[in-house]
Structures are given as structure tokens and as C-alpha cells.
């Protein structure tokens, strides 16, 4: 059976693939995640996903992936008023992110790229998340849990950060880091299914 390579260092994405019974190995892509000058959110997240794919395909030596291997890459961003909210740089940045998300709806977009041989499938999924009003001191207290420190937008919906979420429209798993319904459908095009007929 051909190997699936998850090109991500995110433990959340690994847990999501485990959840639907997909077997895979992990490789960490090496890319520059800087936003380009005048680059808007959707082109940026799509470029990140494709760059991760290209990074893994370019690996040489013992760690090289074969043409038969299916490489799965994803990148997730949080967008508020067309502004990309990445991972917090420090405590001050993390607290500020939460304060500007307070009582507002924001978009979470994940771009997924899956490829094997010359076949390449890319798509993105968008979810709308609405935060309640955050009380004074909550942002700072949340930072001290250490949960938001490596999360786009400075929060984790699957963790303590869920207490801030008033509503969600769209894919929950997309907000965690990988839209499972759409990803499983895409994998079916490569001959892989989470459900096998008895």
C-alpha cells in the first residue's frame, strides 16, 4: 500500500487523521511562512499549502518520498477584516489578538494540497467563528495556560479556547487544522477511503 505523508509538524492534524483511521508518516516541511508584500489572505494560505508540498517533494537522500507516496499538506489561517492573524509572537501579541477577536466574527481558512505522481488536488475550506465578549483579564489568564502560543489566531477551539466561542458556521475540524469531510473526499480520488465495505 502506498504511504501517506503528512507534511506538517502540527499534532492537531495528526490527531485528526488518526480520528478517521488514516495511517500516515510525518515529515516537517521547511518553508518561509512570511506574508508577501501586498499578498492577501486566500492567495497566501494557498501558497503556503503548495509550498509545503513542493518542499517535501524536493527532499533528497534517505528521507526522500517516492512518486507513489501520497503527500498531504495543509495550512490554516485566521482572518479578521482581511487581516491575517498568525501565531502570536509573544504574550503581548497573543493577548492583543484575543482582544480584537472579542465580540466579533472571524474566518478560519485551511488550504489543503494532496498529490501523487502528476496528480495534484488543492482546495480550501472556510469556517466562520464568532467570539463572545471577553471579560477583563481572560486573555492574559488564557495565555498562561500556554495553549495559544503556537496557534493561528492565538486560540485553540479544541481546548480551553472553546469557552470563547459563541457560535460556529461550517467545519469544526477545519478550525482545528484540517477539514475532515473535504479531506476524506479528496483522498478517495487517490483510492483511499476511511470506510471499507464489509
The 10s digit of each residue's pLDDT in 82-102 is 899 989 999 999 999 999 999
For residue 26, tell me if it sits in a domain.
yes
How many other CB atoms are found less than 10 A from the CB of residue 150?
Answer: 14
* pLDDT reported for residue 2: 63
Q: Name the residue among 40, 27, 185 with its Cα closest to residue 112.
A: 185
Q: Name the residue among 127, 60, 139, 69 with its Cα closest to residue 102.
A: 139
For residue 49, tell me if it sits in a domain.
yes
Number of domains in the chain: 1
For residue 13, tell me if it sits in a domain.
yes
* pLDDT reported for residue 178: 97
Q: How confident is the model at residue 19 (pLDDT cuts 50, 70, 90)?
A: very high
For residue 198, tell me if it sits in a domain.
no
Contact 84, 34 (CB under 8 A): no
Q: Cell numbers of 176, please?
A: 482545528
Residue range(s) defining the domain that contains residue 117: 4-188
Q: What is the CATH number of the domain that holds 108?
A: 3.90.950.10
For residue 114, tell me if it sits in a domain.
yes
pTM, full prediction:
0.92
Mean pLDDT on 133-155? 95
For residue 196, tell me if it sits in a domain.
no
For residue 195, tell me if it sits in a domain.
no
For residue 124, tell me if it sits in a domain.
yes
What residues are annotated to the active site?
75
Amino acid at each position: 500500500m502506498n504511504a501517506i505523508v503528512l507534511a506538517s509538524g502540527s499534532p492537531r492534524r495528526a490527531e485528526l487523521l488518526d480520528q478517521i483511521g488514516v495511517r500516515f508518516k510525518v515529515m516537517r516541511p521547511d518553508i518561509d511562512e512570511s506574508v508577501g508584500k501586498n499578498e492577501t489572505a486566500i492567495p497566501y494560505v494557498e501558497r503556503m499549502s503548495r509550498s509545503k508540498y513542493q518542499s517535501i517533494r524536493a527532499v533528497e537522500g534517505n528521507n526522500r518520498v517516492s512518486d507513489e507516496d501520497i503527500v498531504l499538506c495543509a495550512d490554516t489561517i485566521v482572518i479578521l477584516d482581511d487581516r491575517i492573524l498568525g501565531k502570536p509572537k509573544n504574550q503581548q501579541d497573543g493577548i492583543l489578538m484575543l482582544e480584537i477577536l472579542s465580540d466579533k466574527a472571524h474566518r478560519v481558512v485551511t488550504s489543503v494540497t494532496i498529490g501523487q505522481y502528476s496528480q495534484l488536488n488543492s482546495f480550501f475550506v472556510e469556517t466562520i467563528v464568532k467570539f463572545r465578549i471577553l471579560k477583563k483579564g481572560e486573555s492574559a489568564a488564557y495565555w498562561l495556560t500556554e495553549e495559544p502560543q503556537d496557534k493561528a489566531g492565538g486560540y485553540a477551539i479544541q481546548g480551553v479556547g472553546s469557552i470563547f466561542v459563541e457560535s460556529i458556521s461550517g467545519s469544526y475540524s477545519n478550525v482545528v487544522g484540517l477539514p475532515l469531510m473535504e479531506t476524506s473526499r479528496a483522498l478517495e480520488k487517490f483510492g483511499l477511503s476511511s470506510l471499507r465495505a464489509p
